[in-house]
Amino acid sequence: MAIGLLFSGQGAQQIGMGRSLCEHSKTAEALYDQANEVLGWDLKKICFEGPDEALTETKVCQPALYVQGYAIFALLQEQRKLEEFKAACGLSLGELTALAAAGVYDFSTGLKLVAERGRLMQLACDATKGTMAAVIGGSAEDVRAFCEEFDIEIANLNCPGQIVISGEHDKVMEAVAASKGRFKLCKPLNVAGAYHSRLMVSARDAFAQFIEDFEFKAPTVEVYTNVTGGRVSEPDTIKDCLVKQIVSSVRFEDCLRNMASENELSDFYECGPGKVLAGFAKRIDKTLNVSQVAEYAEITG
């Protein structure tokens, strides 16, 4: 059975994430121990115990999701559940985990990239006053026109009827107030900043310099980039997309549609906490079967 992998993005993190993996698997425990060494601080403790305020910080939750997602991938491999692994994609941060699973770089290299990405995005959040809101019930064209009115941007095209907007706090809140009667719902999100918008330009530029010297390989399976929603395979193009992704709209709907159709996939594992991507998949294409995997029992069951 051909399988695709989906990797969670920021916002999916939960206290306790990864605990059951480490309690039952030496492989997972070794990955978390290696992560602590690479990072120079105790990621494992924050993942397992919190507090929530610490785990929610961009510079913490991005490595947390990367390490758990990769550990799940490694354990699925051990359980021989990925013998027909064909393609991978992720939501924002999850794209970096997908690239590690596809062999573009090793676990440690990916973690270094994720840690710096998270640190730079945290700095950009701290230096700007931005926020985001979810728009429910609008077409991409309608939301794009709406954003132009208020000088804000589309951050995520998640699935039909769910689009996230991003920009300066006051402009986003002004847009939320003006949304009544235009969309089913426009709800502010509890986020630290305006991700995937021009407020992240400083993070993009610094990350472009940081990523330059890392060696990337061609992926061993098909991978899809949030920047275009299409396949990407050349190492230099992958690097370029990771840089652009910090300020670009996340085209998750296009990623999943193209990934499913081009590889004739109907079965997927969502690697990470929550069931966010499975929920998106149901609205994108009801024929897709997404099994959410976060706990050890869900891997071995």
CB-based contact 8:91 (threshold 8 Å): yes
24 labelled catalytic: no
196 labelled catalytic: yes
Per-residue CA distances from 169 to 10, 177, 180, 189, 246 (Å): 19, 12, 18, 11, 18
CB-based contact 21:72 (threshold 8 Å): yes
Residue 259: closest CA among 296, 230, 218: 230
Catalytic residue (choose from 92, 166, 248, 249): 92
Pairing, β 267-271 against β 3-7: parallel
Instruction: State whether residue 101 is helix, strand or coil.
Output: helix
Residue 31: closest CA among 62, 69, 59: 69
Residues in contact with 177: Cβ distance below 8 Å, sequence separation at least 6, in sequence order = none
Catalytic residue (choose from 8, 179, 196, 197): 196
CB-based contact 105:99 (threshold 8 Å): yes
Residue 36: closest CA among 3, 13, 64, 57: 64
What positions carry a catalytic annotation?
92, 196
